[in-house]
Amino acid sequence: MGLAGAAGVVATGVVVVRAERRRRAYTPDQVREQLHVRFAQATSAQADAETVAPQPKTGWRGRLFRR
C-alpha cells in the first residue's frame, strides 16, 4: 500500500465523519417536520398529475373512435 492509498483512506474517512456529523445535527422534531413537508409535496404533485384532463383526439381517428 503506497502513500496514495493511505491518502485515499484518510480522505474517505474525512468524508464519512463529515456526513455523520451533518446527519446527527438534526433533532428528531426537525427530521419529522422535513418528512411531513416532503410527503405533502409528493402528494400535491401526484394530485396535480391526476387532475390534468386528457387532450381530446383530433382528426379522423378521433371522430371515428370516440368513446
Question: What's the pLDDT score for residue 54?
Answer: 60
Question: What's the pLDDT score for residue 9?
Answer: 82
Distance CA 14, CA 17 (A): 5
Distance CA 17, CA 19 (A): 5
**3-class DSSP state for residue 53?**
coil
Per-residue pLDDT of the chain (67 residues; tens, 9 = 90+): 688 888 888 888 888 888 888 877 888 899 899 999 999 999 887 777 766 656 666 666 666 666 5
Nearest to 22 by CA among 6, 9, 32, 30: 30
Delimit the domains of the chain by residue range: 11-48
Please list, in sequence order, all residues whose beta carbon lies within 8 angstroms of the beta carbon of residue 65, skipping any fewer than 6 positions away: 57
